[in-house]
Amino acid sequence: MPKYRNKQNLKRIIARGNKLNTLTRHLILQGSSYEEAIEGLERYVSDWEQSVKYIQKMSVNDIGYSEEYDHDLWARSELYEVLKYASAEEICHYRDRIFKADLAFKDCTIESNLPNNHIENPNKLEHWWLFRVNNS
């Protein structure tokens, strides 16, 4: 349940006459400022792209279940969550970038049966990125 102050902040933003889509409302209720929230998916897609670039540069000793790798996977998990609130139009605008980052990630990792455990009870099909390790 969103914190009370986030709900109050959302009410103030709406009272100022700002029209908010579902994603923007969600982000504000999760604690983002109005300025951050109106950026929509951009921040989340960019974070995932940056994480993939870092993962591509990691050595076999760095990747796997390290804190750094967990942090990089968290970027994809956050993107996954916000995509649930994005409109088809918003998703369409970022679809190619997400696809390219996902493909690059898959190219530098291999499937594993053991998940990275930062999502409780991850589903291998739905949370596929959590079931990947370095392919070196």
- pLDDT confidence tier of residue 135, bands split at 50, 70 and 90: low
Contact yes or no for 61/46 (Cβ under 8 A):
no
pLDDT confidence of residue 45:
98
Non-local CB neighbours of 24 within 8 Å, separated by 6+ positions: 37, 38, 40
Judge if 103 and 69 occupy the same domain: yes
Report the domain count for the chain.
2
What domain range is 95 assigned to?
42-134
Residue with tokens 């349940």: 1
Kindly state the average pLDDT of the residues 101-119. 89
**75 and 15 in a common domain:** no
93: Cα separation from own chain's centroid: 16
Residues 64 and 33 in one domain: no
Percent of the chain exceeding pLDDT 70 equals 90
pLDDT recorded at residue 64: 47
- Asked if 20 and 14 count as a contact pair (C-beta separation under 8 A), the reply is yes
Statement to judge: residues 65 and 110 lie in one domain: yes
Let me know whether 29 and 56 are in one domain.
Answer: no
Q: Do 48 and 18 fall within a single domain?
A: no
What global pTM score does this model have?
0.86
For 36-95, the pLDDT digits (tens) are 999 999 999 999 999 999 998 875 455 445 677 888 899 999 999 999 999 999 999 999
Q: How far is CA 114 from the centre of its chain?
A: 20
CA dihedral of 68, 121, 113, 43, whole degrees rounded to 10: -40
Same domain, 33 and 46: no
